[in-house]
Amino acid sequence: MRAVIKDSIGVFHPQGFLDGASSASLLSIEDIEQTVKSNASMILVSLKKVIFFNRNGLDTFVKMFQKVRIANHITVGFCDYDKKKYNAIKKFYNDDVNFSLFKTQKIASLFSASFKEKNQNILLFSDDKSQRAALAIELHDNGHNPIVAQTQKEFLQKAEVKDAYDIIIEDTFLGQMGQQVATRVTGNAIIYTLSSFLDAEIGNTFNIAYHNNSLNVGFRLFIFDVYKVVSMNIHALNFFSKLASSAAEYNATLCFIGMSFDKTPILFKETLEDSGMMFFNQMDDILQNKELLDELGASSAVSGKNKRAINKVLVTELPNFIDATVTTIEMMTNSKAVKDAAKVNKIEITDQSDKIASSIGFYGDIDGMIMLVFPLGIAKKACELLIGESTEDKELILDTLAELVNIVGGKVKTLLADEHISVNITLPRTYQDMNGLLEVAEGKKGVQVDLSFDNDKFLFFLTR
Amino acid sequence: MITTKQIDSYIAKIPPSPKVLKETLTLLNQGDLVKAAKTGKEDRALNAYLKELVNKPIYGFRNEVNDISQIFGILGVSKSQQTTYNYMISLLSPTKWKLFKLNKSSFYDLQAQLSANWHKITAHLNINDKDVQSAISLLPASIIVSEALFCEKLEDVKLLRSVDEIDLNTILQRLCKMDLFDICQRIAQRWEMPESTAAIIQASSGVKSSNDETINTLGKWMHLLLFYTLSQPTFIEAQLNDFIDFQIDYVSDIYDDFSQLMEIK
């Protein structure tokens, strides 16, 4: 089957009934690869003319999607469906949807960078809070103006207003688009999810470079969600022991949540505990316990290793970094930025009150870290756009700020790629006051750029 | 461009040409199964075909059925007539398919599945009209004619398919100003089937609905049955699935009923 390619989106249009057997005959991996070669940045299967599908039918496509997504870093999924089909897909895959769902092709095109009609007014809603944020960010990143409804009720009310929006988005889901080893949660802990059998293979599947860079950036709590792990063998034991010992050098903590020792020798638990690994039965034992969370290092950071100075490569790339940051913040706050000063030194924050910060690391051809210090006012303004209304909830602001820094990171990655410098980015980290940030940045030399947004001062710090 | 004359010459090859066959059909039309079987016995190929067809799993007979009078007896008048039409069509099927990746066996399967399920549908709709039941045999017939027409312009067809994602039915229309369903209608005329039969076929295109409610309902069921059958791997690979454009909205009101009847889970 051939795809129709428009706006860099390759869409396949199967028709009739989809089950395991027919799907495999309709579409082959070669068909998809051919489409990718024609410069498609998104591969979708339209369900418009599909009257019946079952899980097996979709699975055949999903398996092929996985392959091309991992090999080409493109968005994959389904489009053109009604509510009934959307609910059926969500039900088939429970909470484990690792592809994207776009209600229409038009909606999908809004998420494609090559879409020509920018500046669309878009009303959007999803039951899932993180989906709402992800959708809004992506749309913003593509030059649109998203308005996020926080509740179904609000959504329906807003949607009733005729001609108020160019497009209304619902029943849409953004699946994994890039990094898939970790999930960030409030409290600056990184959660890795593992399943089935842990053996020597873990050394290949676990992204160690990513993990080390997360340590460098200042993450101090790493949680392994192992509810779905059946058993662990000696090779995996060695791997995790080493991981835990090396984390200890950074003062970081590694935890296993929900590990069952039915099929794993209980002796392994002792070995892991000796190397510093902690065990908990449930995720909430940690995440709902703020004191424990603080104690385990989720908000403190003493960076013992690698006080590396800024180097020439980073300085050469500086304009790119500043560009990415400034345009993103300008876009989000609807204001103009003016560059005040730039100097190479240790970070210097004159007025530390009422400021929050976030940081994101990058690694690959060049390594480094970007830190952004926001006055609470600017942060609130930026968040207003993503949340859809003003808020005083500091945790919510920090969360949104993390997403904002994520966008900056993504932009930097793209800009560097244009210069043939390939980097990956870590998850963003947030700091609710300057003490936490200074602990990480202490002693590090870097480039500091002071910026003014209207009357607010804003600080950009690039270091290694 | 293929002229109407050329098309007619293909369809002209579809007469109930052998005398025996013509007589068998006439007798079946009159409802005389015994005489029809007696006449039909003389055509050995017909006997062999009937045997092969009715012993396919979709007909669901426990024991092998051998004798033509036995077969006609089991099938009854309308199914016997439909099956004899299917045989006539099979006589025309090319020895080597060039565009559609079919062969003798998969083509028989297509006929058998469409026929058996169409019978199920007409029974479900309480329609006991042998002309309505025979209507389904027109679809495989027109697939043969289309194959022959496409083969005339095979290179053009392949070129058109490679530059643009257009369905074969549209190409057929561009090539000879007739689509699959128009061809069915021509064949129906040739076979002197009642006009209502051709109307059902046209309605089953999903784009030419009829004002007659019964015909329209039958058209919807046939459209859905066609896609139900063409969604099988053999026919997808044969390129029949994207021959015509599936009109999902046209059949949405009968889908639940259909899925229940076909036991789709």
Within a domain: A446: yes
pLDDT given for residue A139 in this prediction: 81
Tell whether B65 is covered by a domain: no
> What is this structure's pTM?
0.61
Report the distance separating Cα A412 and Cα A426, nearest Å.
12
User: Given an 8 Å threshold on Cβ–Cβ distance, is B224 in contact with A51?
Assistant: yes
Q: Within a domain: residue B40?
A: no
pLDDT in tens, B121-173: 999 999 888 788 888 988 888 898 888 888 888 887 877 777 666 788 888 88
Among the partner-chain residues B230, B242, B259, the one whose CB lies closest to the CB of A52 is B259
* Domain end residue (candidates: A169, A200, A215): A169
Region A385-411 average pLDDT: 76
- Report how far residue A379's alpha carbon sits from residue A132's, in angstroms, rounded to the nearest whole number: 18
Span A372-396, mean pLDDT? 76
- Separation in Å, CA of A85 to nearest CA in chain B: 14
Cβ of A51 and B245 within 8 Å? no
pLDDT of residue A404: 77
Instruction: Give tens-digit pLDDT for B48-94.
Output: 888 888 888 877 777 888 888 888 888 888 888 888 888 888 877 88
Q: What residues 5-24 of chain A have any CB closer than 8 A to a CB of chain B? A: 13-18, 21-22, 24
Residue B101 domain flag: yes
Q: Do A51 and B232 touch (CB under 8 A)?
A: no
Domain assignment present for A227: yes
- What one-letter code names the amino acid at A180? Q
Length of chain A: 464
A306 within some domain:
no
Q: Report strand pairing: A445-453 vs A368-375.
A: unpaired
Residues from chain B contacting residue A5 (CB–CB below 8 Å): none
> How many domains, chain A?
3
Domain assignment present for residue B245? The answer is yes
ipTM over 0.90: no
Do A163 and A208 share a domain, yes or no? no
Domain span at A436: 312-463
Task: Specify if A174 maps to a domain.
Answer: no
Section A305-326 average pLDDT = 71
Same domain, A208 and A114: no
Q: What is the average per-residue pLDDT within A377-406?
A: 76
Question: Is it the case that residue A281 has pLDDT exceeding 80?
Answer: yes
Per-residue model confidence (pLDDT) at position A403: 75
Residues facing A303 on adjacent strands: none
Residue A255, domain member (yes or no): yes
**Residue B171 belongs to domain spanning:** 4-15+95-261
- Residue A282, token pair as written in the block: 């449930």
Taking only the tens place, the pLDDT of each residue in A231-275 is: 888 999 999 999 988 888 888 889 999 898 888 899 999 999 888
- Side-chain half-sphere exposure of A224, counting CA atoms within 13 A: 21
Contact: A16, B228; criterion CB under 8 Å: yes
pLDDT band at A148 (very low <50, low <70, confident <90, very high): confident
The verdict on residue B55 lying in a domain is no
Please tell me whether residues A154 and A199 are part of one structural domain: no
- Name the CA dihedral angle for A397, A402, A403, A408, rounded to a multiple of 10 degrees: 130
CATH number (domain holding residue A68): 3.30.750.24
Q: Same domain, yes or no, for A9 and A154?
A: yes
- Min Cα distance B221 → chain A (Å) is 13
pLDDT of residue A178: 34
Q: For residue A384, what is the domain's CATH number?
A: 3.40.1550.10
Looking at the fold, whether A365 and A281 belong to one and the same domain comes out as no
Which pLDDT score, from 0 to 100, does residue A332 have?
67
For residue A388, count CB atoms less than 10 angstroms from its CB and return exposed for 0-12, middle for 13-18, buried for 19 or more. Answer: buried
Shared domain for A23 and A61, answered yes or no, is yes
- The answer, yes or no, to whether residue A306 has pLDDT greater than 50, is no
The answer to whether position B24 is within a domain reads no
Domains of chain B: total = 1
d(CA B14, CA B145): 9
* Residue A34 predicted with pLDDT over 50: yes
Shared-domain flag, residues A270 and A249? yes
Among the ranges A143-152, B165-174, B241-250, which has the highest mean pLDDT value?
B241-250
Note whether A140 and A271 are same-domain residues. no
Each residue of B172-227: pLDDT tens digit? Answer: 888 788 888 998 888 888 777 888 888 999 999 988 888 899 999 999 999 999 99
Helix axes B138-152, B180-190, angle to 10 degrees: 120
% of chain A surpassing 90 pLDDT: 14
Task: Write down which residue in A128, A147, A169 finishes a domain.
Answer: A169
Shared domain check, A199 and A58? no
